Chain A
Amino acid sequence: MHQALPSKGRAGVPMRLYRHRRRGASPFVLAAAIAVAALSLLPVGFVLVVLFQSGWDTASALLFRPRIGELLINTMLLEVLAVPLSIALALALAWLTERSDLKWRALWRWLAVAPLAIPAFVQAYAWDSAIPVLRGLWPAVLVSVLAYFPLVYLPVIAQLRRLDPAMEDVAATLGTRPLAVFLRVVLPQLRLAISGGALLIALHLLSEYGLYVLIRYDTLTVAIVSQFQAVYDGPAANLMGIVLVFLAVIFLAAEAWLRGERRYARVGGGAARQVALVKLGIWWPLFMALPLLVTVLAIGLPVVTLLRWLLIGGIESWHLPQLVSATWQTAGYALAGAVTVCIMALPIAWLAARAPGPVQKTLENIHFQVGALPGVIVALALVAVTVRVALPLYQTIATLLLAYVLLYLPRAIVSVRASLAQVPIELERAATALGRPPLVAVVGVTLRLAFPGIAAGMALVAMGITTELTATLMLSPIGTETLATQFWARTGEFDHVGAAPFALAMVVLSLPLCIILHSQATGARSS
């Protein structure tokens, strides 16, 4: 029935009729998202192939040996101690900085986020060089908590600020003491934030390498990297990798179960007003001791140690050419990685924001689950795949960037999706109505408006790459020396003085991360 009508559009351009496109996602975007998801499945596929190829006898001999049990116990002990302690510390600090009249709350809030600027292995390096006898479980727990508690603190303060303060007022009028109000009313509504943050910490502890090597605590990841360094692409490391993946999957499931189906969203809009602050009264110095102590331990000690080594070493220890070259290369990788990751995040983020549905949900889940896998697994998978089937890609920048993509895709998706969702589709339609072809409308209007948010996502990814150690150690091409690998090589050669400038550079490069995350949590910038 469709016939070209002899009518004229604007400025004499003849109007043509086009066949209707099916509603829903454009097939191109969908295909791109599926391609990225397939790529994400690479490490999982690797794990399955390893299990299948090594055969039952080898697998069981290598999996069910006392060493694995020992590592499993070590890893789980660390998790069951460090995760709850991090939650408790984060909650206590969140309560003090958001719900009490503690002096200088804004300062303490910044200082509670600031440990994120100090990579965990730098934190451990500082502790190790300050107190050399630190070793084993409890020091590992201490440094883990100090390095990672902000991952719970941030979502918790964000959620606290979204909660309806009326709830807490009403609870007080019902005769509930302030602490009980926090426990009975506020805490249950923080469940999502806490379980999400705790999952992040649990996964970080699972994949952390440098910290535990320096504190001399053997976890699965430490053992995998040791095996890898002793044997390279061998069955023992790969099979330990399966145990690690298994743990990651358990943590994901546990979080989903804890989070539950229900979501406690506030009924109304954003918090109408500042909630009444609990007066600490004459006990305030006692309460201030906590953030003070945390600051001294998590920031003071590493910073002082770093400065001490820098001072001892003097200017000669800076190895300026190497520092400059490492900074340059790190920046190059970080930027290239950030751009690649965000571009690859676009299709799925686009689907999530514009055409949500079951297919999109599945694809998104695939992206996220892979982000939960430790860097060491991703690196093992890529070494195996490139060595065996894609040798031209072996030890190339492309492979390292691919590892970064797999590791940081979830971070990017969250940011890109949020910023796309904030651009009303009406603007795109308006642009189309004003004569822009759809793709031009998308690029010219939506992407342009979403760019600040996407840029923030890129910054997050870039800073993750800046301090990435494990995968970079295992995959970096010849001649690549990032700040993290230089730092690591020097601490390995007991060159504390020489390592300090690289640590400092990483801390400085990570500072913007704190600023972005802080402003996201406190709602200072994003809506």
Chain B
Amino acid sequence: MTRTFLATLALTLTFAAPALAQDNGLTVYTSQHQALTQEWADAFTAKTGIPVAIRKGTDVLMANQIVQEGLNSPADIFLTENSPAMMMVQDADLFLPVAPETLANTPEQFRPESGMWTGIAARTTMLVYNTEMISEDELPVSMLDLANPEWQGRWGAAPAGADFQAIVSALLELRGTEETANWLVGLKQNALPYRGNFEAMRGANVGEVAAALIYNYYYFGDQAGTGESSNKLKVHYFANKDPGAFVSVSGGGVLKASDNPEAAQQFLAFVTGPEGQAILRDGHSYEYAIASGIEPNPALPPLSTIDSPDIDPSLLNAQEVVQLMTAAGVI
């Protein structure tokens, strides 16, 4: 029996060993898609031999975490889906400046002037609608119309997610606190909250709601696959530089806490370089490639066709959005 006990203990330690192992390569905190980050990491490791560990979270969660960890953070690199989270880390002065040659990969409109981080990809905001429930002429002209009474219970979104919060931060930047707060109240009354964009889209597809405010890649991803969650849907882009036509920039930056900043800079250069951007173009993420002159995935409508508002990504404020949404009872 003693032997069994010891055997159990030994087995435990053997099992626990891999969990205890920490490699000495790069650690990436990412709120980007797990699969996309993994593809970047694998390709980078294949090219350089530097191992990459990934911790996945959501934008603001990861940003807050980095802020609280400060210079003790185990992370070397931070990748996000949206820019407000990058600004939280920048405001806490935890980024190293991005290498100038890396910055040059990304066009100016997709990166902040500070040069503390850079754009790595972009996504567009859009409304998908169920053609069986709503006709084209009933579609809202502006995203703000969705707060009107006629939309009560008819649209869905994923307000707890970072994507939606980025959209709200764009609204906040364009229209100010009061209008944003009012719109959030309308949202609370009108919209069905979903766990994520995909669920919101599927909700529209199965007719739970007539329309859903989501990012583009959920729709195109599903269309490229089985299409079973989007086959009844059509896409509507808001025009006239509406907040609902917001193009969100995904960011990447090197952290001051990095104990291997050179490799970290190398990683960021790789992601924004031709190889990294080609992964965006050819992969299944359906986000827009924006850097190194790589064309986006041909399945996506060109960014130039979208009448998006001009927003400096460095002006988007995540914290105020969370406060406004908490006050409105959305989260």
Q: Do chains A and B touch in the complex (CB under 8 A)?
A: yes
A479 and B53 contacting across the interface, CB-CB below 8 Å: yes
> Which of B22, B160, B196 sits near A479, CB closer than 8 Å?
B22
Interface residue ranges of A128-168 to B (CB < 8 Å):
132-133, 135
Interface digits, A192-221 against B, CB 8 Å rule (1 contact, 0 not)?
000000000000000000000110101000
B194 and A480 contacting across the interface, CB-CB below 8 Å: no
Q: Complex formed: what's the CA distance from A227 to B20 in Å?
A: 29
Chain A CB within 8 A of B55 CB: yes
Q: Complex formed: what's the CA distance from A448 to B1 in Å?
A: 6
Q: Complex formed: what's the CA distance from A339 to B75 in Å?
A: 31
Chain B CB within 8 A of A232 CB: yes
> Which of B64, B218, B331 sits near A223, CB closer than 8 Å?
B331
Of the listed stretches B27-35, B112-120, B134-142, B251-259, chain A binds B27-35
State the Cβ distance, A459 to closest chain B Cβ, in Å.
11
Interface digits, B214-255 against A, CB 8 Å rule (1 contact, 0 not)?
000010001000000100000000000000000000000000
Smallest CB gap from A66: residue in B = B329
Q: Can you pick out 26 interface pairs between chain A and chain B where the beta carbons lie within 8 Å of each other?
A: A132-B202, A133-B207, A216-B194, A216-B195, A228-B61, A229-B60, A230-B58, A230-B60, A231-B322, A233-B68, A234-B64, A325-B18, A329-B18, A329-B19, A332-B12, A332-B15, A335-B16, A394-B69, A395-B74, A447-B5, A478-B55, A478-B74, A478-B75, A479-B22, A493-B198, A494-B198
B55 and A479 contacting across the interface, CB-CB below 8 Å: yes
Chain A CB within 8 A of B9 CB: yes
Size of the chain A interface, CB-CB below 8 angstroms: 52
CB neighbours (8 Å) of A394 from chain B are 69, 72
CB neighbours (8 Å) of A332 from chain B are 12, 15-19
B27 and A336 contacting across the interface, CB-CB below 8 Å: no
CB neighbours (8 Å) of B182 from chain A are none
Number of A-B contacts (CB under 8 A): 135
Q: Complex formed: what's the CA distance from A338 to B16 in Å?
A: 12
CB neighbours (8 Å) of B69 from chain A are 387, 391, 394
Q: Complex formed: what's the CA distance from A52 to B218 in Å?
A: 44
Chain B CB within 8 A of A307 CB: no
Chain B CB within 8 A of A67 CB: yes
Interface digits, B42-62 against A, CB 8 Å rule (1 contact, 0 not)?
000000000001111110110
Smallest CB gap from B205: residue in A = A132
Q: Is the interface of A mostly helix, strand, loop or mixed?
A: helix
A328 and B18 contacting across the interface, CB-CB below 8 Å: yes
Interface residue ranges of B120-168 to A (CB < 8 Å):
160, 162, 165
Chain A CB within 8 A of B11 CB: yes
B34 and A493 contacting across the interface, CB-CB below 8 Å: yes
Chain A CB within 8 A of B39 CB: no
Known: A223-B331, A229-B60, A493-B198. Contact between A335 and B15, CB under 8 A?
yes
B34 and A232 contacting across the interface, CB-CB below 8 Å: no
Closest 10 CB pairs of A and B: A232-B64, A67-B329, A332-B15, A494-B198, A335-B12, A336-B16, A226-B160, A332-B19, A332-B16, A478-B55
A489 and B56 contacting across the interface, CB-CB below 8 Å: yes
A331 and B61 contacting across the interface, CB-CB below 8 Å: no
Interface digits, A56-67 against B, CB 8 Å rule (1 contact, 0 not)?
000000100111
Chain A CB within 8 A of B304 CB: no
Q: Complex formed: what's the CA distance from A444 to B64 in Å?
A: 51
CB neighbours (8 Å) of B12 from chain A are 332, 335-336, 338-339
State the Cβ distance, B217 to closest chain A Cβ, in Å.
11
Smallest CB gap from B29: residue in A = A478
